[in-house]
Amino acid sequence: MPRVKRQKFMQDSQTRASGGGNRFSSWKDKGEAVGFVHPKIGIWDRWVHGVIPSIEEEKKGEMKVRKRRPNCIGTSMEEVPNRACPMCLLQEFAQVKKGEGADGAEAILIGGSGKDRVMIDLNDLAGEGGWMNDPKAKQEVTFVWIDPDKVDKATSMKEAIELISGPQTLGERIFEVIDEQVKRRGEIKGDIEVPADFKLKMKKGKMFLVSDEGEEQQWTPYPFQLKFNKDAKPERKYGATKMDADLCELTPDVAQVMLTEEDELDVDFEKLNASTDADKQLAMIHSSWDCRSIPFEEFKDFYESKSGSKGKASAKKAEPKKATAKKADPKKSTAKKADAKKETKPAEEEKPDAEAGDFKFCSECGFKNPRDGKFCQGCGGKLASQKPSPVEDAPKVEDDAGEAGEGKGDVRDAVDDGTVRCQDCGEVVTPLKPSNRCPECGEKISDVSF
């Protein structure tokens, strides 16, 4: 394959669709990686939670289970665990439920099927599982990696780089190398990251750091060798050493990749390392919650009581009510009617979309739902374009003992055509995929398998 030139990279970054992002490399599977840390991006750190299954929509309305690791809302050791972070409070919630005598082996989050099936029980959520399922936030480093062999074979900028993430110990090994080079070569030439008041340029095949005043210093980046030993002690699993230049040649093509700016790389590191929004975290957890004895609403109430989010929301809603009740001015009455129309406006009109013909969006969480649905598959809320269902006013289903609300699961009976009787409203329905929700009342139907 021909070597990749900077002009080719520029063309690709300008013409390709900016849809998918880069995936983190699986360098640990190889046991080592040899290359350079991108000098214009540097090394970032973030706090990330353990893996949870998140049921998300793909193209053409298809639902897929994605293994997500939400970034913690806390950004430093002092802020982890964070009271505003749903994943942090999910661990505390699980510990409380276990203290109350709940079964630790009971599955709470379930997603996928076959070899891709993810099942997380109460023990995992309480922090007694492994790295994959323990929700406790852990510190990581992330950076853009330049592999010379990969650059030689690349036909686009996206193929020429990798994203690497690793635990705090990997970051410590890398910074040990940097500190040693700073002592030997000086602060500017020893650090892998280009200083903010310098620009990186290439002249006659050599790289220079140019200050704002025009002062030039020749700069030679040094390669790393990253190593991973799964059999070593936890603190020694990750290693990083400086390599000799002749063992990892700095070719003109590699140097050109180093000259690229962040927008050319198509990697938004600000977004990649920022904390995951609390509402998005809740939606992730809710999408795969599958537990009859501990409903998701119980955790949501726990989160709101601990974070104070429910109180803030109530205060915001109370202000407009007071304002509209003071005067009966005709102009204000007209405005009030206009506001009411806005509030009842169908969700698909609020969020226009080229594919909105068969779907409508939830006004609360933005989830894309079938047009004939009454309740959101993402958050379970009533879709704004539907009138209140008469089922809400229907009498509650009673069990054999005659007490409403107890033993609801006993009245559900499956039918050969795939329908079931909802344990909440009593209607025979076909549950909405993938949330297993009753399309009539929105209640979660937990033990239905497709």
**What confidence tens digit (pLDDT) does each residue in 227-286 have?**
999 899 888 899 999 998 888 888 888 998 999 887 788 888 888 889 999 999 999 999
CA atoms within 13 A on the CB side of 362: 17
Whole-number pLDDT of residue 446: 57
Rounded CA separation 278/402 (Å) = 40
Token readout for 177 is 């190398």
Instruction: Look at residues 285, 292, 243, 263 and name the one whose alpha carbon lies nearest to residue 379.
Output: 285
Q: How many residues does the chain have?
A: 450
3-state helix, strand, coil split of the chain in percent (to 5) is 35, 20, 40
Q: 434-447: per-residue pLDDT in tens?
A: 445 566 655 666 55
- 425 near 391, Cβ under 8 Å? yes
Nearest-5° angle of CA 302, CA 305, CA 308? 140
Whole-number pLDDT of residue 91: 94
Rounded CA separation 411/413 (Å) = 6
Q: 78-135: per-residue pLDDT in tens?
A: 788 899 999 999 999 999 999 999 999 999 999 988 878 889 999 999 998 776 788 8
Whole-number pLDDT of residue 421: 76
Tokens 């009859």 map to which residue? 292
Q: 162-184: per-residue pLDDT in tens?
A: 999 888 899 999 999 999 999 99
Cα torsion 338, 340, 342, 346 to 10°: value is -140
Token readout for 285 is 């957890």
Rounded CA separation 352/339 (Å) = 20
Q: 324-376: per-residue pLDDT in tens?
A: 333 344 444 444 444 444 444 444 444 334 344 566 777 666 666 777 777 77
- 440 near 425, Cβ under 8 Å? yes
Window from 199-208, 339-348, 363-372, 421-430 with minimum mean pLDDT:
339-348
Mean pLDDT in residue range 41-63? 87
- 324 near 338, Cβ under 8 Å? no
Rounded CA separation 109/241 (Å) = 40
Rounded CA separation 150/257 (Å) = 11
E-assigned strand segments in 289-424: 359-361, 368-370, 420-421
Rounded CA separation 221/199 (Å) = 14
Mean pLDDT in residue range 413-423? 62
Rounded CA separation 44/270 (Å) = 9
Q: Is 285 helix (H, G, I), strand (E, B) or coil?
A: helix
Q: What is the pTM of this model?
A: 0.62
Helix (H) or strand (E) holding 33: strand 32-37
Token readout for 233 is 């002690």
Rounded CA separation 268/277 (Å) = 16
**Pairing mode, if any, of strands 368-370 and 359-361?**
antiparallel
State percent of the chain over pLDDT 90: 32
Q: CB atoms < 10 A from the CB of 361, how many? A: 24
Q: CB atoms < 10 A from the CB of 154, how many? A: 21
Tokens 């000259």 map to which residue? 259
Q: Where are the domains of the chain?
A: 22-273
